[in-house]
């Protein structure tokens, strides 16, 4: 269409940027772009524009990079040259600190596009200082949109897949657990959790999408980390708060919360006391009272209890830690007795064979 002069290059790029934005926002997969003639054309245009001497169109290279990354399938391995050009270019866009709606929108698109880079190695010197500056500046000044901030974290957290040395930066320097908890709490205030009109039922807002994206990051974060700090207890509490408001009208978000609580019970980086402190234990008990439970949710609830029980059975050599374990175990069993859950616990054993046969489960040992 461009060659036939039915569409200008500027309009074509604008259209593809919009398509790529919607694709990433809704986590749609595009398997046809990788290896296509269009992908190869974008790669050539990006390299040519980077090499161009003299006066340049300042927005053309960022636009090309955004289109290229956002249209790609995030598990496709990109060429090292194009990968490095895109990362450097889009981080410069996101680093702009002018306070305007246009700058915020540019940063959002740049960071959203960067968040699509998953299984590609990126040299630490290309991104680490820049992404740290972007995150820290937002923590102090709140200059990014919620989607842009979540995307910045996704880009950094995905680098953890190939560089375990980032864990200290993510957990203790930039405080992912604390920031995720705060974002979930603030996003929850922006969502109308009581959908009463029929036309509202099938619609999903941008805030709901960002909550789901945070849940996805938290899930992978919990499976990646070995470090622990007190901020994880606050994150558990925030997940529980979202569950309490979402469980009746937002089944997908409510189910996400239960699966995350199950994951927290599985991970050694999460202390069992935090599950009690953050009301995860109470929440799982409450969920068992719901009249209709799907097999998937019932599986997560059962595995939560199995893992917590296993961990409470582990005796500690340190006398002080052993005393704390016994006290925590006593509190949890008293909580279950108060709520009248002895029969439910007894019925678990009848369901184990079914759960093991029909679900891919992980039991903490």
- On whether the CB atoms of residues 134 and 142 are closer than 8 A, the answer is no
343 domain-assigned: yes
353 domain-assigned: yes
Considering the domain architecture, whether residues 115 and 249 belong to the same structural domain is answered as no
- On whether the CB atoms of residues 77 and 119 are closer than 8 A, the answer is yes
pLDDT at site 364 = 42
159 domain-assigned: no
For the ranges 87-96, 239-248, 303-312, the one whose mean pLDDT is highest: 87-96
185 domain-assigned: no
Which of residues 123, 152, 169 is at a domain's end? 123
Considering the domain architecture, whether residues 238 and 349 belong to the same structural domain is answered as yes
Structure confidence by residue, pLDDT tens digits, 196-238: 555 555 577 889 999 999 999 999 888 888 888 888 888 999 9
Of the candidates 213, 207, 178, which has an alpha carbon nearest to the alpha carbon of residue 193? 207
Which of residues 123, 155, 180 is at a domain's end? 123
Cβ-based burial of 73 (10 A; exposed 0-12, middle 13-18, buried ≥19): middle
pLDDT at site 341 = 57
Confidence of residue 180 (pLDDT cuts 50, 70, 90): very high
Confidence of residue 151 (pLDDT cuts 50, 70, 90): very high
Mean pLDDT of the chain: 83
Considering the domain architecture, whether residues 234 and 365 belong to the same structural domain is answered as yes
DSSP 8-class letter at 318: S
Structure confidence by residue, pLDDT tens digits, 17-64: 898 898 898 888 776 777 778 888 889 999 999 998 877 788 899 999
128 domain-assigned: no
Number of structural domains the chain divides into: 2
Q: Which residues contact 147 (CB under 8 A, 6 or more apart)?
A: 25, 108, 112, 206, 209, 210, 213
**C-alpha torsion angle, residues 304, 305, 311, 312 (rounded to 10):** 150
Give the residue-averaged pLDDT of 102-110.
Answer: 95
Domain range for residue 75?
1-123
CA 256 to chain centre: 11
70 domain-assigned: yes
- On whether the CB atoms of residues 152 and 111 are closer than 8 A, the answer is yes
């Amino acid at each position: 269409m461009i060659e036939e002069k039915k569409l200008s290059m500027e309009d074509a790029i604008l259209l593809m940027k919009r398509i790529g934005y919607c694709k990433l926002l809704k986590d749609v997969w595009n398997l046809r772009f990788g290896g296509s003639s269009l992908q190869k054309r974008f790669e050539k245009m990006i390299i040519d524009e980077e090499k161009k001497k003299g006066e340049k169109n300042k927005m053309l290279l960022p636009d090309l990079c955004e289109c290229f990354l956002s249209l790609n399938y995030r598990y496709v391995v990109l060429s090292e040259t194009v990968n490095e050009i895109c990362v450097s270019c889009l981080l410069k866009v996101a680093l702009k600190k002018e306070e305007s709606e246009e700058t915020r929108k540019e940063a959002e698109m740049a960071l959203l596009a960067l968040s699509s880079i998953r299984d590609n190695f990126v040299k630490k010197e290309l991104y680490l200082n820049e992404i740290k500056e972007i995150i820290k500046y937002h923590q102090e000044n709140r200059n990014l949109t919620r989607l842009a901030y979540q995307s910045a974290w996704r880009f950094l957290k995905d680098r953890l897949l190939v560089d375990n040395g980032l864990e200290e930066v993510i957990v203790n320097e930039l405080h992912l657990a604390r920031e995720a908890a705060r974002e979930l709490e603030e996003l929850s205030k922006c969502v109308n959790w009581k959908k009463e009109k029929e036309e509202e039922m099938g619609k999903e807002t941008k805030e709901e999408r960002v909550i789901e994206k945070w849940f996805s990051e938290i899930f992978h974060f919990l499976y990646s980390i070995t470090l622990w700090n007190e901020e994880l207890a606050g994150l558990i509490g925030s997940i529980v708060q979202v569950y309490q408001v979402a469980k009746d009208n937002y089944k997908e978000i409510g189910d996400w919360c239960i699966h995350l609580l199950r994951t927290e019970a599985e991970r050694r980086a999460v202390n069992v006391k935090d599950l009690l402190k953050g009301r995860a234990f109470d929440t799982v008990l409450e969920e068992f009272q719901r009249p209709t439970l799907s097999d998937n949710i019932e599986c997560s609830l059962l595995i939560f209890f199995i893992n917590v029980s296993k961990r409470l059975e582990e005796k500690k050599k340190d006398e002080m830690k052993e005393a704390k374990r016994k006290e925590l175990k006593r509190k949890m069993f008293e909580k279950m007795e108060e709520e009248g859950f002895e029969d439910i616990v007894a019925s678990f054993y009848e369901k184990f064979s079914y759960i093991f046969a029909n679900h891919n489960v992980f039991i903490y040992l």
